[in-house]
Amino acid sequence: MENPPRTVAIVEDDPSMRRSIERLLNAHGYQTLGYESAETFLEAESTGTLGCLVLDIHLGDMSGILLRRHLSSVGSALPVIFITAVDDEAVEAQALEAGCLAYLHKPFAAKLLLSAVGLAMPEP
């Protein structure tokens, strides 16, 4: 039996935050692919190899919530972990409605992200 994907895509427009998340996940055995925007993620065409998506809500042109809705509309069941620096109950409600495994406020504890990724991609 083939092992499930262990690659996490990180869509985050802040390069230092994106690198930090990549380093954390790499140190815990996950492969990562980083993207600076929803558009670059969509252009990559690598979603078939992904196990989950760590997605910032507040991006440039296309928000994380719009990206999640788009993925759902094309039949993607890719687990999503939303991250945000903005504490806004309305945005959180939209994110939960769009579908996510976890919703984390920056700065978040490493163990919270690792726990969410572990839920999205359980060990075989």
> Is 102 contained in some domain?
yes
Neighbours of 96 (CB within 10 A): 11
pLDDT > 70: what percent of the chain? 92
9: helix, strand or coil: strand
> Is 98 contained in some domain?
yes
Q: How many domains does the chain have?
A: 1
State the Cα–Cα distance between residues 123 and 21, nearest whole angstrom.
20
Residue 64: left (phi > 0), alpha (psi -120 to 50), or beta? alpha
Q: What is the pTM of this model?
A: 0.92
State the Cα–Cα distance between residues 87 and 32, nearest whole angstrom.
27
> Is 96 contained in some domain?
yes
CA distances to 5, 17, 64, 69 from 13, in Å: 24, 8, 11, 19
Provide the strand spans (E) within the chain: 7-11, 31-35, 50-56, 80-84, 102-105
pLDDT tens-digit series, residues 102-124: 999 999 999 999 999 999 998 76
Containing structural domain, residue 42? 7-119
pLDDT tens-digit series, residues 10-38: 999 999 999 999 999 999 999 999 999 99
> Is 66 contained in some domain?
yes
> Is 47 contained in some domain?
yes
> Is 43 contained in some domain?
yes
> Is 78 contained in some domain?
yes
State the Cα–Cα distance between residues 3 and 15, nearest whole angstrom.
30
**Averaged pLDDT for residues 90-110:** 93
Residue 89 pLDDT greater than 80, yes or no: yes
- Which CATH number is 44's domain given? 3.40.50.2300
> Is 2 contained in some domain?
no
pLDDT band at 1 (very low <50, low <70, confident <90, very high): very low
